[in-house]
């Protein structure tokens, strides 16, 4: 075999190898992109979602207004079945719609659906929201507030609001859309049964990356 023929074979093998590597890269690239894509859970929020009947701000219970509690999102408004985190990751944004100003402590809970017993597994930051202006109410276009956070969540865990009053709700139905725990749940405690339920939806959405 002459030198020209040998060189040609080497070039052919190298070209084939490069083509194979490029093909594998093309197959892996979309998968890597999908793995990094953000996912959302909790209420499905957009400017058309009205925080109806959210003012004045709601206490945890009418019997003991001002006493703190834990509110667990038990039904995701506009996104049925999405009250649980779809995968493990980090919550990078919390989005809310509120009627008026207020604040809450973000927490993450594990909930036993058969008994509604819950325990807090992680604390997040305190978040202060502004609520709607008169222009928002007049135009029926509602402000969605967004907050940067960095809170780890595991698949199946749920969003928690800890506070004493909130206008981060939409009240136009009944049922057990929100689970209420009073006294409030604290990280490190065991599973506790819900002391009440509420028909209002908590308007909170999480973005996992």
Cβ proximity of 85 and 154 under 8 Å: yes
Same-domain pairing of 89 and 8: no
Give the DSSP H/E element, type plus range, for residue 27: helix 3-36
For residue 110, pLDDT beyond 60: yes
Cβ proximity of 60 and 68 under 8 Å: yes
Same-domain pairing of 100 and 33: no
For residue 18, pLDDT beyond 50: no
Whole-angstrom CA distances from 54 to 45, 71, 111, 150 are 16, 15, 26, 28
- Residues 22, 5: Cα–Cα separation, whole Å: 26
The pLDDT of residue 102: 98
CA 92 to chain centroid, in Å, comes to: 9
For residue 191, pLDDT beyond 60: yes
The pLDDT of residue 173: 76
Q: Dig out the tokens for 182 from the structure.
A: 């009073």
Same-domain pairing of 170 and 98: yes
Same-domain pairing of 91 and 48: yes
Same-domain pairing of 128 and 94: yes
| Sign of the CA dihedral with 60 first, then 64, 65, and 67 last | negative
For residue 19, pLDDT beyond 90: no
Same-domain pairing of 29 and 58: no
When pLDDT is cut at 50, 70 and 90, the band that residue 1 belongs to is low
For residue 9, pLDDT beyond 90: no
The pLDDT of residue 174: 81
Same-domain pairing of 67 and 161: yes
- What range does the domain containing 3 cover? 1-37
Quick: pLDDT tens for 114-138.
999 999 999 999 999 999 999 999 9
For residue 29, pLDDT beyond 80: no
- Residues 73, 164: Cα–Cα separation, whole Å: 15
Same-domain pairing of 24 and 48: no
The pLDDT of residue 36: 66
Q: Which of 201, 168, 50 is nearest to 102 (CA)?
A: 168
When pLDDT is cut at 50, 70 and 90, the band that residue 172 belongs to is confident
The pLDDT of residue 24: 45
Q: Average pLDDT over the chain, rounded to whole?
A: 88
When pLDDT is cut at 50, 70 and 90, the band that residue 32 belongs to is very low
Same-domain pairing of 120 and 32: no
Looking at the 3D structure of the chain, how many domains does it have?
2
CA 140 to chain centroid, in Å, comes to: 24
Average pLDDT over residues 15-24: 47
Same-domain pairing of 13 and 64: no
When pLDDT is cut at 50, 70 and 90, the band that residue 90 belongs to is very high
Report the 10 Å Cβ neighbour count for 62: 7
Average pLDDT over residues 2-21: 49
């Amino acid at each position: 075999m002459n030198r020209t023929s040998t060189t040609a074979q080497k070039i052919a093998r190298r070209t084939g190898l490069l083509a194979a590597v490029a093909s594998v890269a093309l197959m892996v690239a979309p998968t890597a992109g999908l793995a990094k894509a953000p996912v959302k859970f909790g209420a499905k929020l957009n400017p058309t979602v009205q925080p109806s009947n959210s003012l004045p701000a709601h206490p945890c219970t009418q019997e003991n207004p001002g006493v703190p509690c834990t509110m667990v999102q038990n039904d995701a408004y506009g996104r049925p079945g999405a009250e649980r985190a779809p995968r493990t990751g980090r919550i990078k944004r919390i989005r809310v719609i509120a009627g008026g100003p207020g604040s809450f402590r973000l927490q993450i809970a594990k909930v036993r659906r058969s008994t509604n017993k819950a325990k807090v597994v992680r604390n997040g930051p305190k978040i202060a929201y502004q609520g709607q202006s008169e222009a928002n109410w007049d135009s029926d276009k509602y402000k969605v507030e967004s907050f940067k956070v960095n809170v780890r969540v595991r698949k199946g865990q749920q969003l928690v609001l800890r506070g004493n009053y909130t206008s981060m709700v939409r009240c136009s139905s009944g049922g057990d859309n929100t689970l209420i725990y009073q006294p409030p749940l604290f990280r490190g405690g065991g599973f506790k049964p819900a002391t009440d339920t509420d028909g209002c939806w908590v308007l909170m959405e999480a973005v996992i990356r």
